[in-house]
Amino acid sequence: MTLRRRLLDWSLAGLLLVLPALILRSNVRSGEPSGFDRAVLRVSSPLQAAVSWVIEGLGGMWSRYVALIGVDDENRELRAENERLRKDLAAMKRRAFDVEAIEELVDLKKRTPADTVGARVIAASLTPFFRVVRIRIDRGDKEVAPGMPVITSAGLVGRVAAAYGNHADVMLIADAQSSVDVVVPRTGGRGVLTGLGATDSYRCKIQWLERPSEPNQQARVEVGDAVVTSGLGAAFPAGIPVGVVDKVASKDYGMFQEVEVKPAVDFSELRAVMVLVAPPPPADPAAGKPRHAEPAFAVRPL
Amino acid sequence: MRTATLVLVAYGLLLVLGAVWRILPLGPLADAVPDLAAITAAYLGLSSRRGIAPAVTGGVIVGYLADLLIGAPPGLGALACGIITILGHLVQRRILVRGWAVTVGFCGFTGAVAALLVIALRAVHDQPLARPSTEIFHLIATAAATAAAGPLLLRLLRRIDATFARTHREREHALEGIS
C-alpha cells in the first residue's frame, strides 16, 4: 500500500470516527433521536420484537418442559412432607382414640360406686382357645388379685386371671373356660355364660338357661334381649351389662334353652378397662330419713 | 461483503443476546452483559487486511446498531467501537490472538477498554454517571462477561471470515487467528 493510499485510508477512518461523534453530540444536545435514528429503529424494532418473541417462546418451553427438574425435587419434598403429616395425623388419631377411651373410663369411674383401678390394654388375645388380654395397671399386684371383675363403659370384659407386678392377664368372658352367672332381666331367667371359643368371633352361650313351660311363653328368651350379671356367687356385681341375645335355639325336648350372646364389649377395640378392686360400700340404712343431731351447746330441757 | 456479513452476524447476536438476557435468571449478574459489539469491532480491526477505513465503518455501524438496541444515545457505542477498531488495527502486527488464555485476556481487555471509553464519553458529554464504585463494578463485570463470551464470538467470526478467504492460505490464517 502506497503512502498516499495509506494517508487516504487513515483520513477516511478519521472522518468515519467524526461521524458518530457528531451524531452523539447532536443526540445529547437535542435529547431526541434524529430522523435517521428513527428510520433505522423503524426497521430494526420489528426485527427485535420477532427475535424477542421467538426467544420468549423457547424460554417458555424451557420453563414448562425442560426446567421441571426443580418441580420434581419440589414434588419429592412435598411427598415427604405429606408422608410426615400423614404419620402425624395417624398418631393424633390414635391419641384422640386413647383420650376418648380414657374419658369414657373416667366417666365410668364416676358412675361406679366401687373402688376401681384404671388400666391400659397392652396386648390382645391371639388364639381363640385362650381369650386373654394383657393389661397394664397403674397400681401394683398387691391391690389387683385374680378373680376381680374387669369392665368398660360398654359392659363386662372378664375377670383378672393372673396379676404380676404392674401387669395382669384378663380372661375375657368369651373364653371357653370363663363362667359368669347371668340373668335375662326381661324374663328373669338365669344361666351361666361361657365363651364359645370360636375362631372368628367373641360369641358366648348361656348354659343352663331353663326352658319356660308352655303356658308361660313370656319367659321365653328372644333375640335382642339384654343379658346382665346376676350378682350370684359374689364374683361379679349385679347388673353389669354382658351382651344381647343373638341366637335362640329352642327344642321341643330338654330342660334348657340354647342361647348365644353377642358381648356388649367389642373386644377387638379394647383400649382401656377398669378393674373393680372392692365391692361398693353397703347401702346406708338411714338414707332418706331425717336426722336429728344432739344439741351441743343449747340448754337442755329439764 | 465480508465486513457487512460480520456486522450483520454481530447484529443478530446482539438481538438474541438482548432477548435472552432479559429472561435468564441471572440475579445480581444481570448487569454483567458481554460487550459483543466491542469484540466484533476489535476483530474487524485485527483482521483488516486492506486498509482501516472499511473496518472502522463496520465497527461504527455495529456500535451504532448496539446503541439503538440497548437504548443508549446513538453515537456513544458507535464512537467507542470505532476507536476499538482502530486500536485493534494498531495492535494487529504486535499481538497474536491465539490460544485459550490470550483470547480470554484479549476479550476481557477489550470489554474493559470499551466500558472505559463509554464512561469517558459520557463524562465528556455531561451524561449522568453513577458512583465510582458502581461504575468500577460495572466495568469489571462487563470485562469478565466479555472475557467469558468473547472467545466463542471470535471463533464464530473467524469461521465466517474463512468463508470469504480467496486462497487456502488465507482461509487457514483466518481460522487460526493470524491476520
Contacts of A12 in chain B (CB under 8 A): 53, 56
Distance from CA of A73 to the nearest CA of B (A): 19
Contacts of A42 in chain B (CB under 8 A): none
The pLDDT-based confidence of A129 (bands split at 50, 70, 90) is low
Q: What is the pLDDT of residues B5-58, one digit of tens each?
A: 999 998 898 888 888 877 777 777 777 888 899 999 999 888 887 788 888 999
Higher pLDDT, A294 or A78: A78
Which residue in A6, A8, A28 has the most chain B C-beta atoms within 10 A of its own C-beta, making it the best mutation to test that interface? A28
User: Domain residues of chain A, as ranges?
Assistant: 112-278
Which residues are paired to A172 by β-bridges?
Answer: A158
Residue B50 has a pLDDT of 75
Domain made up of A112-278: CATH architecture: Beta Barrel (2.40)
Q: What is the pLDDT of residues B55-105, one digit of tens each?
A: 899 999 999 988 888 888 888 889 999 999 999 888 877 777 777 888 899
Q: Given an 8 Å threshold on Cβ–Cβ distance, is B65 in contact with A40?
A: yes
* 8 A C-beta contact, residue A117 and residue A139: yes
Q: What is the pLDDT of residues A8-31, one digit of tens each?
A: 888 888 888 888 888 888 888 877
**Residue B160: Cβ-neighbour burial (10 angstroms; 0-12, 13-18, 19+):** middle
Answer whether B14 touches A (CB < 8 Å).
Answer: no
Cell for B108? 476481557
Residue A91 has a pLDDT of 94
* 8 A C-beta contact, residue A36 and residue B61: no
Residue A243 has a pLDDT of 94
Which residue in B14, B24, B76, B93 has the most chain A C-beta atoms within 10 A of its own C-beta, making it the best mutation to test that interface? B76
Residue A292 has a pLDDT of 67
Those residues with Cβ within 8 angstroms of residue A55's Cβ, 6 or more apart along the chain or in another chain: B16, B19, B20, B23
Residue B127 has a pLDDT of 79
Highest average pLDDT, of A162-166, A212-216, A250-254, comes from A162-166
Residue A85 has a pLDDT of 96
For CA atoms A174, A176, A181, A184, the dihedral sign is positive
Nearest CA in chain B to A31: B73
Residue B178 has a pLDDT of 59
| CB nearest A28 (choices: B51, B53, B127) | B127
Distance from CA of A78 to the nearest CA of B (A): 24
Residue A232 has a pLDDT of 84
CB pairs under 8 A between A and B: 92
For B:82-111, CB contacts with A below 8 A are 82-83, 86
Those residues with Cβ within 8 angstroms of residue A244's Cβ, 6 or more apart along the chain or in another chain: A224, A225, A226, A227, A261, A262, A264
Q: What is the pLDDT of residues B100-151, one digit of tens each?
A: 888 899 899 999 999 999 889 888 888 777 888 888 888 898 899 889 888 8
CB atoms near residue A208 (< 10 Å): 13
Q: Given an 8 Å threshold on Cβ–Cβ distance, is A44 in contact with B68?
A: yes
Answer whether B9 touches A (CB < 8 Å).
Answer: no
Higher pLDDT, A288 or A44: A44
SS (H, E, C) A252-267: CCCCEEEEEEEECCCH
Alpha helices in chain A, H assignment, sequence order: 3-30, 35-64, 69-111
Residue A79 has a pLDDT of 94
| CB nearest A48 (choices: B56, B69, B76) | B69
Question: How far is residue B55's CA from residue B44's CA, in Å, rounded to a whole number?
Answer: 5
Higher pLDDT, B170 or A20: A20
Please state the rounded mean pLDDT for residues A48-62: 81
Answer whether B8 touches A (CB < 8 Å).
Answer: no
Answer whether B70 touches A (CB < 8 Å).
Answer: no
Contacts of A9 in chain B (CB under 8 A): 51-53
Residue A264 has a pLDDT of 92
Give one DSSP letter per residue of A174-207, joined into a string.
TSTT--EEEEETTTTEEEEEEE---SS---EEEE
Q: What is the pLDDT of residues A165-185, one digit of tens each?
A: 888 888 888 888 888 999 999
Which residues are paired to A168 by β-bridges?
Answer: A135, A163
| CB nearest B23 (choices: A44, A51, A55) | A55
Please state the rounded mean pLDDT for residues A92-109: 84
The pLDDT-based confidence of A134 (bands split at 50, 70, 90) is low
Cα A214 to chain centroid distance, Å, stands at 50
Nearest CA in chain A to B19: A52
* 8 A C-beta contact, residue A124 and residue A271: no
Higher pLDDT, A5 or A283: A5
- Name every residue in A having a CB less than 8 A away from some CB of B: 1, 5-6, 9-10, 12-13, 16-17, 19-28, 33-34, 37, 40-41, 44, 47-48, 51-52, 54-56, 59
